[in-house]
Structure formats: structure tokens, C-alpha cells
């Protein structure tokens, strides 16, 4: 009896190790393709589409891919100032710096609110302890956005950490920023800087002013509810002002750090065929296909 239990345990352990190795290999392969191929969809876009269908609605998607060179430096600075001040220098993880930055930002917001006679000076941001638990660098946010669900679990956080390491190892900082600015959510069905710029300001992302860029950066954490400019304009405006102050101190990724890469080309069939190789618990990671 003991021998059978021992064999079952060994086989179970081997099966788990093989599953981990297979999933890790797939993530590694997909991340490498991001060097010179743009994702056609993301886990978040697919999740929003499922949510819309569940409500009996047709999914909305407004997105236009643009290279980093066609995204205003103002927006690049604003997003880094608001989301990940040390993006250019860290290795993908920077929780302490994010915590310090947001504590200072909250203090500034409270001072502004008191000066304006606001009786609820903290309404511009979710409660800070909750924010700390979810604090993420740009690279971590990109990992989650591209491949993972929004569920909170140890397994998802482990996947996020692994993919973050891969992204930092395989891609330049400028490529990471380019991907991030083209796939993040900026409203209901609005994805990427160009779509957001056209929707909110009727202009190209290349032409955004510092104030407009700070506005877009201000709504990134939750553009649907918490930082929806229609629902919470004061909250957005306060965060916008603080981001404007920090923009000048932001360090952008150096162009010389960018890896040489060929122009993105179609790569769909092979990647889409691989999507059934990992479980759905990987949250639509296998839905990532590639396009120009």
C-alpha cells in the first residue's frame, strides 16, 4: 500500500513539474514574439468582451496601434509619472518606490483638498492600503493585461511575476512602454493611446499637450468607475494636477537600449493554434495572437 502511495505521489509531482515547465515554455515563447510582433488581442480585451456578451451587449473595441515614436513624449512622461516613476531603472519590481510616491501624492492631494474646502480630501484615490496590495509596475501591469485574468490568487501572482521577469529580460524598456501604451484600457471599449486621444481630445496621440497627457494618465488605474472622468471629475482633476508636477522629473527609457528588431509582421496562425495547449485558468493567455 505504501509503495503505491509513494508511486502516486511521485507521478503527481512529475505531472505538476511537467505542467509548470510546459506553461513556462509557452509564456517564454509568446514573450519572445513580442520583440517584433504586436498582439492582436489581450486577456483583458477578451475578458471585457465576455462581460459585455454576458450582459447581452455587443462588445466594443476602439484601438489603433501606433509606434512609440508617434506617441507624445508628454504622454510617455505622464504615464510613467503616474504609474511607475522608476520604470526606466528598475528590473520590473518596485513596490517600495510606488508606495512612497503614492503616500506623498496622497498628502499633496489632502493639502489641495483642504485649500479648496473639500470635506472629503481622500476621494481622489481608493483607500491607500487597498492600493498598496494591488500596486504594480508598468511591466507587471503589462504582464497581467496581456496574459492573465483579474482574479486575485497566489497562482495568478506567481504567473505575473514570472511573465514580468521574462518581459524585462527579453524586451527593451521602450518596447515594454510601447506595448503598454497600445493595449491598456482607457474607457469602455477604448484601448491604447491613439484611441484614447481621439476619443477624449479628437487628436492624434502624437499631438497631446502636457495637460492632456496628464489627464489621460490620471484615469488609467480605473477608467470605468473610480477614475471615470464623467463620474468623478474632481478626483481625476486632482490626480491630473499631481501628475503634471511630477512629469518633469521622469526619466524616459533611452533609445540606445532598444533591441534591434525587424518590422512587425503577421504571425497569427501558429500562435493561435497553440492556445489550447494551456488551461483556461491561464486566463486567455493562449488567446494572444500576433499581427502587424
State the sign of the Cα–Cα–Cα–Cα dihedral 76, 102, 98, 154.
negative
Find the DSSP H helices in the chain: 2-33, 43-54, 73-83, 95-115, 128-134, 138-147, 154-170, 173-183, 193-201, 210-218, 233-247, 268-273
* Contact assessment for residue 204 and residue 194, using Cβ atoms and an 8 Å cutoff: yes
Specify the pLDDT at position 52: 94
pTM score of the predicted model: 0.74
Specify the pLDDT at position 135: 55
Domains along the sequence of the chain with CATH: 40-258 (1.10.3810.10)
Burial class (CB within 10 angstroms; exposed 0-12, middle 13-18, buried 19+) of 291 = middle
The angle subtended at Cα 83 by Cα 80 and Cα 89, nearest 5°, is: 55
Quick one: which of 194, 166, 203, 220 has its CA closest to 44?
220
- Give the C-alpha separation, 172 to 168, whole Å: 7
Q: H/E element holding 257?
A: none
Specify the pLDDT at position 143: 94
- Give the C-alpha separation, 204 to 97, whole Å: 32
One pLDDT digit (tens) per residue for the chain, 292 residues: 677 777 777 777 777 777 677 777 777 888 899 998 999 999 999 999 999 999 999 999 999 999 999 999 999 999 999 998 889 888 777 656 656 656 666 666 676 666 666 555 444 444 333 333 345 899 999 999 999 877 777 787 888 889 999 999 999 999 999 999 999 999 999 999 999 999 999 999 999 999 999 999 999 999 999 999 999 999 999 999 999 999 998 989 886 654 434 334 333 333 343 343 333 334 344 444 444 3
User: Can you read off the three cell numbers belonging to residue 74?
Assistant: 508628454
Specify the pLDDT at position 10: 79
**Four-CA torsion 208, 212, 216, 218, nearest 10 degrees:** 140
* Contact assessment for residue 253 and residue 172, using Cβ atoms and an 8 Å cutoff: yes
Amino acid at each position: 500500500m505504501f509503495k503505491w502511495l509513494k508511486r502516486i505521489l511521485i507521478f503527481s509531482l512529475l505531472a505538476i513539474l511537467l505542467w509548470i515547465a510546459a506553461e513556462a515554455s509557452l509564456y517564454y515563447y509568446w514573450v519572445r514574439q513580442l520583440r517584433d510582433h504586436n498582439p492582436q488581442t489581450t486577456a483583458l480585451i477578451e475578458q471585457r468582451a465576455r462581460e459585455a456578451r454576458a450582459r447581452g451587449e455587443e462588445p466594443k473595441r476602439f484601438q489603433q496601434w501606433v509606434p512609440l515614436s508617434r506617441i507624445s513624449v508628454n504622454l510617455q512622461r505622464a504615464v510613467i509619472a503616474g504609474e511607475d516613476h522608476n520604470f526606466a531603472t528598475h528590473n520590473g519590481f518596485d513596490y517600495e518606490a510606488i508606495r512612497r510616491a503614492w503616500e506623498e501624492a496622497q498628502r499633496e492631494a489632502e493639502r489641495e483638498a483642504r485649500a479648496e474646502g473639500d470635506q472629503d480630501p481622500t476621494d481622489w484615490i481608493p483607500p491607500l492600503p487597498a492600493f498598496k496590495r494591488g500596486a504594480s509596475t508598468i511591466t507587471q501591469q503589462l504582464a497581467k493585461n496581456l496574459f492573465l485574468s483579474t482574479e486575485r490568487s497566489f497562482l495568478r501572482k506567481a504567473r505575473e511575476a514570472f511573465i514580468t521577469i521574462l518581459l524585462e529580460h527579453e524586451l527593451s524598456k521602450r518596447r515594454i512602454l510601447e506595448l503598454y501604451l497600445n493595449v491598456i484600457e482607457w474607457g469602455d471599449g477604448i484601448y491604447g493611446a491613439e484611441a484614447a486621444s481621439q476619443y477624449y481630445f479628437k487628436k492624434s496621440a502624437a499631438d497631446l499637450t502636457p495637460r492632456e497627457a496628464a489627464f489621460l494618465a490620471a484615469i488609467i488605474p480605473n477608467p470605468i468607475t473610480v477614475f471615470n472622468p464623467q463620474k468623478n471629475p474632481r478626483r481625476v482633476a486632482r490626480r491630473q494636477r499631481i501628475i503634471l508636477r511630477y512629469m518633469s522629473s521622469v526619466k524616459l527609457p533611452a533609445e540606445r537600449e532598444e533591441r534591434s528588431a525587424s518590422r512587425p509582421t503577421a504571425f497569427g496562425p501558429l500562435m493561435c493554434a497553440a492556445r489550447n495547449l494551456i488551461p483556461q485558468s491561464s486566463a486567455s493567455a493562449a488567446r494572444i495572437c500576433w499581427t502587424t
